[in-house]
Structure 1
Amino acid sequence: MANQITIQALIYGNRQHYEWNTILLEKTDSHIIVLGEYGRQLHHYTKQSVFTINNWSIEFFSFESWFTVSAEVVDGELGQFYCNINQPAVMKGNTVSFVDLDLDYVRRNGVWQVIDEDEFAAHAIQFGYPVDLIRQAEQELVTLKEKVVTKEFPFDGYLEKFIHCIPSSCK
């Protein structure tokens, strides 16, 4: 399938973390937007397990910014958001990969919160994150929070325009 894109999350040091397949919706020089189909399989290498994801999502991966966005689509609207702090994504062929830096900013039940700070601290030691990388990740989290509050791209309603790509019987 020509428009299938494999998304690979890596652990610092370019070790496999998890991956899943998506459908390409938009590709620019600065980002891609993909559709996560209901029932997709997430292969989680660090947990040695495969999870079935039972939701549709619109997902954003930047080649410039230090975050990703996965927005769950429920009843034709974007509901929960899950944002990773990560090094900018890289696209090679039909694969997009990024180094996940553990810090996450999520919206659940309408409330935004930072999660996995303990995981970030533990992995910084375990994987030897350089001090500059730790500072960068912390600053990028601040920048991401500001983008959400000020409704900057892609939090400006841009992702909503892709909801129509989900089959109408599935929204």
Structure 2
Amino acid sequence: MDNQQMRIQSLKYGNHLHYEWDTTLLEKTDEHIFVLGHRGRKLKHYTKGKVFTMENWTIEFFPFDAWFTVSADIIDGKVTQYYCNICQPAKLNENTVTFVDLDIDLIYTNGRWNVVDEDEFAANAVKFSYPPDLVRRVIQEQKSLEERIEQGRFPFDGTIERLIKMLPDGE
């Protein structure tokens, strides 16, 4: 790992800064980026006006050609939770990755996948005037992500688990 620092910025529709945090680059290709979120990092949540301290290491995936992100919590060398945002494809500009969060999330915890924040999606569709095509696309992308997970397709094919070895020793 070359310790290249990467800033991650989550935006709400209309490019309103939602939250941001700093990470370290693990892997970069033309199609995606993987980063490491360090235990103890600060997440600045602009929408809530708060700063949160993140308790776990994460391996995070941002594709430039797909409508989701993945954050995998790592505890004792194992993935304990997946948190996937439905969002517009991520963009990379030098050392900053941005994505437009479209509210609906898929979360894996306690052995089960759950869809959350559908109420937030409905409220924000009105608040931010999501175009009808975008609303349809979000629903389509949620179903597509559920199929990808079920079929064990990249990055749910063991790729994230293989990256765990890149955590600093003793973590």
1:48 and 2:19 correspond: no
Q: CA RMSD in A?
A: 1.0
**Residue-by-residue CA offset, 1:33-72 (whole Å, 9 max, x unaligned):** 0000000000000000000001001000010000000000
Residue 156 of structure 2 aligns with which residue? 155
Matches within 5 A, 1:1-171: 3-170=4-171
Over 3 Å off, 4+ runs: none
- For 1:2 and 1:110, how far apart are their aligned partners in 2? 33
Tell me by how many angstroms 1:168 deviates: 2.8
Q: Read off the aligned partner of 1:123 and give its amino acid letter.
A: N
Pairwise CA distance, 1:117: 0.2
User: Cα distance, 1:76 vs. partner?
Assistant: 0.7
Deviations 1:92-138 (A, max 9, x none): 01000000000000001110000000000000000000000000011
Deviation at 1:160, TM superposition (A): 1.1
Shift of 1:25: 0.3
The answer for unaligned runs of 5 or more in structure 2 is none
Paired AA for residue 57 in structure 1:
T
Distance 1:76 1:31 in 2: 23
Residue by residue over 1:61-89, the C-alpha shift from the partner in whole angstroms, topping out at 9 and shown as x without a partner, is 01000000000011111110000000000
Q: Counterpart of 1:7 in structure 2: which amino acid? A: I
Q: Distance in 2 between matches of 1:142 and 1:168?
A: 38
Deviation at 1:2, TM superposition (A): 6.4
Percent identity, aligned pairs only, is: 56
Letter in 1 for 2:41: R
Consecutive unaligned residues of structure 1, counting only runs of 5 or more, are none
1:3-33 Cα offsets, whole Å, 9 max, x none, are 1000000000000000000000000000000
TM-score, structure 2 as length reference: 0.97
